[in-house]
Amino acid sequence: VSGIEIKSDASLAEAVQILAQNKILSAPVVDVDAPEDASWIDRYLGIVEFAGIAVWILQQSEPPSPTNHSPTGAESAVAPANGMPSSAELRTLGSEDASITAGDFFEALTSSEFYKKTKVRDISGSFRWAPFLALQQSNSFLTMLLLLSKYKMKSIPIVDLGAGNINNIITQSAVIHMLAECTGLQWFESWGTKKLSEIGLPTISRNQLVTVHEDEPVLQAFRLMRKKRVGGVPVVTGDGKKAIGNISLRDVQFLLTAPEIYHDYRLITAKNFLLAVKNYLEKHDTRSPMLSGMITCKTNETIKELIQMLDSLKIQRVYVVDDDGNLEGTITLRDIISRLVYEPPGYFGDFFDGVLPLPENCRV
């Protein structure tokens, strides 16, 4: 994975641009106040993700809790200037009554001093760990796989004890690519020929699936993901049985970096959003996985076939359908990795000691 890092005093707008321009979903955040000789645990604040930025933005558009009317530290630190929208005004734009005007909300947000002046360090509550769980080269393969599956980590930094920098970052996608490279090996061929239904996939069935209707406002889709703590939702047709596309939390980047997407629409529905993103990518990034369309599979396909498809298309999830194309569930990279490993009792021992717990409002 690339060595792109984001400084803690970078604005949200700058962080979004860095992630988008480098086509990455996350990057380590370097504490600009850390001493030059700091070890990695003092040098980094954590890892900032598109998904975390999206969740934080959505929080700003929601009414404050009845028990907490005071502004957050970040709000106070970036008080609006020159009449630009404050987070309170953004909440008004993002209210349920105005949720159809997603364009107004994101246009106001991206032009606001609030968005331009809020620093990455101000949203550190959206980071999964503080600073993050890291592995050393001596850690086992099982440890890595368990962290990427059961413990819901999307990526794991690799460090040298006492060193100041991250050597590498291993992602769920990298593990899936490694598995695809195992084609021909006896253990993989034996396991890979099993059908999805034989190894308990999908784990998320149709009645558990969080969906968004094609005519619903796209802002509602992002809100739903935040509320349900999921990374993506299928966009379904009228009867809710068939999906026409997928929207992920990270797709909020298009509303933040490509204003032309919403300028042509008075009403940005989930369906309109999918069409607008497709048109945008056809002009600017023809290699994007999002141009692959709605990717599906069936439970009678093999795990090997699924791994090869996910790796070749560079996608994070696939939807399971029946012979009539009706939704039956979803399978993520994490689901596949979790089918490879078993955690022995007491395996991690004191591994997690000293690691701060996840914030209550953090998306997992």
Query: Is the pLDDT score of 179 beyond 70?
Result: yes
Tally of helices (H runs) and strands (E runs) in the chain? 16, 12
Q: In the structure, what pLDDT confidence band is assigned to residue 318 with cuts at 50, 70 and 90? A: very high
Q: In the structure, what pLDDT confidence band is assigned to residue 34 with cuts at 50, 70 and 90? A: very high
Query: Is the pLDDT score of 59 beyond 60?
Result: yes
The Cα 105–Cα 110 span in angstroms is 9
**Would 6-171 and 178-338 be classified into the same CATH topology?**
yes
Structure confidence by residue, pLDDT tens digits, 82-134: 233 455 544 544 444 434 456 677 778 888 888 889 999 988 766 655 557 88
CATH of domain 6-171: 3.10.580.10
The Cα 30–Cα 257 span in angstroms is 23
Query: By C-alpha distance, which of 342, 271, 281, 331 is closest to 307?
Result: 331
139 vs 352, higher pLDDT: 139
CA distances to 42, 194, 275, 359 from 198, rounded to whole Å, are 46, 6, 36, 36
207 vs 1, higher pLDDT: 207
Which whole number is the average pLDDT over 179-193? 96
Which whole number is the average pLDDT over 38-48? 88
CATH of domain 178-338: 3.10.580.10
Listed by start position, the domains of the chain span 6-171, 178-338
Burial of residue 153 (CB within 10 Å: 0-12, 13-18, 19+) is: buried
The Cα 6–Cα 163 span in angstroms is 19
Q: What is the pLDDT of residue 123?
A: 85
Query: By C-alpha distance, which of 244, 258, 125, 231 is closest to 172?
Result: 231
DSSP-based three-state secondary structure for 85: coil
The Cα 268–Cα 250 span in angstroms is 17
Average pLDDT across the chain, whole number: 82
Which whole number is the average pLDDT over 199-221? 92
Structure pTM?
0.82
Query: Is the pLDDT score of 49 beyond 70?
Result: yes
Q: What is the pLDDT of residue 262?
A: 74
344 vs 86, higher pLDDT: 344
The Cα 251–Cα 212 span in angstroms is 15
Q: How many CA atoms lie within 13 A of 168 on its CB side?
A: 6
CB atoms within 10 A of CB 294: 16
110 vs 11, higher pLDDT: 11
Per the DSSP assignment, residues forming a β-bridge with 46 are: 29
Q: What is the pLDDT of residue 32?
A: 96
